[in-house]
Amino acid sequence: MRPGDPVDRFAPGRLIVHRNVRLGRIGWARSARVVLDDERGLLLWIARDSPVAHEVNAAGLTMRALPFADWITPTYRLAEGRWNGPPLLKFLPTGAAHSVWWFRDERGRFANWYVNLEEPAVRWDDGPVAGVDMVDQDLDVVVRPDLSWEWKDEDEFAERLAFGDDYWVTDEKAVRAEGERVIALAEAGAFPFDGTWCDFAPPTEWGVPDELPPGWDRPPVR
């Protein structure tokens, strides 16, 4: 296997990098531990305060901090930081155009599922560092514990679709169709919305990495 070649499986407990790619650039990167990796898909754990990086413009602002028309610029850089959200699980079903995230409240209890609509992830392995790259399609679905749901970020999605040459989503109907397919699973209480992994607790020895591993910013494979 050559460095960067796609891989079939990651070993449980391995530290990898989960990355979002925008038009061939890294939009964000998050360090994550592999919980399991089997025929169903890849399950990742992101601890609170895990090292991350995100794309900012010349003024140091993120894409969500300003209108999309003002975000479009030839100047970007990656700013490293820490994950300031709650600890969460991310499940990337094999070959699916979405992932499902398990969010927790401040006390560590399951709060809700979050369906992240995205192009299917591609794995890579350079030896000392490995990861998985996907393309976030911005439109999302929040699923509550009672299986009620709502679309999220519809306004941002609609705004960005107007900038065809500068936006990474090319098929709005396909994105919505994938969301509707997953909504049907949620309404039926089918896997993974059946309580699976809602009480997951990571091994104490995993800890939190000090920084992103060297090579985390290697060229995307998406």
Q: What pTM was computed for the model?
A: 0.94
Containing domain of residue 133, as a range? 15-201
Per DSSP (E only), the strands in 128-167 are 130-143, 149-152
Residue 222 inside a domain? The answer is no
Could you give the number of structural domains in the chain?
1
- The owner of tokens 């790259």 is 133
- CA distances in angstroms from 57 to 27, 63, 75, 77, listed in the order given: 11, 8, 6, 6
| Tens-place pLDDT, residues 60-114 | 999 999 999 999 988 999 999 999 989 999 999 999 999 999 999 888 899 999 9
Residue 190 inside a domain? The answer is yes
- Omega of the bond leading into 192 within 30 degrees of 0 (cis): yes
CATH number, domain with residue 147? 2.40.380.10
Residue 89 inside a domain? The answer is yes
Residue 120 inside a domain? The answer is yes
| β pairing state of 25-38 and 76-82 | unpaired
Asked whether residue 1 carries a pLDDT value surpassing 60, the answer given is no
194: CB partners within 8 A, 6+ apart: none
| Tens-place pLDDT, residues 10-31 | 999 999 999 999 999 999 999 9
How much is the pLDDT for 4? 42
